[in-house]
Structure 1
C-alpha cells in the first residue's frame, strides 16, 4: 500500500480486494494513480495552452517544430511520426495552423516536390509562452516530491514505458 494511507486509490483497492478476493488488484495501486495524475496533468496542460489560445493538438505540432531547432521546420511525415496522428489528420492540422498564421508551408530546397512546415514568428512566440506556462504548472504538480524522489519516479516511469516506446 501507499506511504500515505487513505487516499482514494487505497479505498478503491481495498473495496475491490474485499469484493473480489480471488483477484490480485495490486496493479491498481500504481496504474490508477498514474491515471489520476494524467487527468490532473491534462487539466494543467489545457489551462496552460488555453491561456495562449491553443488547443493541445496545436501545441503538439508547434512544439515539435520548435524542438527541431533553427530554422524550425519539419516535413509533414516527420510531424506525423512525432505527434502520432494520421497523415490526413496532420494535413488538416497544418492547414488550420497556416490559417492562424502560426506555421507556414515552404518548398524544400533539397527537393522542390517536397513541402516543409515552418514555425512562423507568431507560432514561436505562442509556443514559447505556452511551454513556460506548462513547465510552471508541471513544477507545481510535482512540488510534493523532493527532487531526488522526482528523479527516482522519472526513472521508474521510463522503465515502465520503454516496451511501449520500442513498439
Structure 2
C-alpha cells in the first residue's frame, strides 16, 4: 500500500480469503479506509456474532423444555436461591434486570402455568415470596442441562486455559460497564 501506516492487525485477511466473516469485514474496511483503526472490530464484532449464536442456542434449549428466555431467567434465579427456592419480587427484579410491573406480569404468568407460587413472607406480613414449584424445578433443570451441553459444544475449540483467559478478559471488559 502506498506507504500509508494502518492499525489493522497482522492477522488481516484479504476479501475472499480464509478466515471468519469478521476477518473479511476488517479486510474490506482496510481497503476502503486504510487509516481507520479497526482493532475494536476484531473483538467486539466477534462478541456480537457469538451473542447471536448464543441467543439461538439458548432459545432452542429453552423451547425444548417449554420455556421462553424470560421464564428461564426467573426460574433459574429462584433455583439458584437454594431450598426452599424462593425470593422476594424485589430480589427477582434485581437478578433479572427487569421492572416491578414486568416482574408482576412474569410471576402471574408463571403462576398460571403452575411453575411458581406466591406465599406470604414470614418475616414481613406485608411482603410476599415467590417460590419455585416442582414443575418449575423440572423445567429449569432440564433447560439448564441442555444449555450447558450446547455451550460446552460452542466452546469446544478452546482449551481449558484459553477458556479461563477469555473469561478473565471478558470480565475485565464487563466490570466497568456493569458498574454503570
TM-score w.r.t. structure 2 length? 0.89
**Residue 97 of structure 1 aligns with which residue?**
110
Higher helix share: 1
d(CA) in 2 for partners of 1:77, 1:12 = 44
**Residue 23 of structure 2 aligns with which residue?**
10
Count of aligned pairs between the two proteins: 167
Q: Indicate the structure (1 or 2) with the bigger Cα radius of gyration.
A: 2
d(CA) in 2 for partners of 1:166, 1:27 = 21
1:9 offset after TM fit, Å?
Answer: 0.3
1:1-167 alignment runs, 5 A limit: 1=9, 2=11, 6-167=19-180
d(CA) in 1 for partners of 2:75, 2:129 = 13
What is the RMSD of the two structures over their aligned residues, measured on CA atoms? 1.4
Unaligned 5+ runs, structure 2: 1-8
1:112-162 deviation line (CA, Å, top 9, x unaligned): 110110001110111011111110110000001111111111111111111
d(CA) in 1 for partners of 2:146, 2:26 = 35
Q: Secondary structure at the match of 1:48?
A: helix
Choose between structure 1 and 2 for higher RCO, CA contacts under 8 A separated by at least 6 residues: 1
**Residue 4 of structure 2 aligns with which residue?**
none
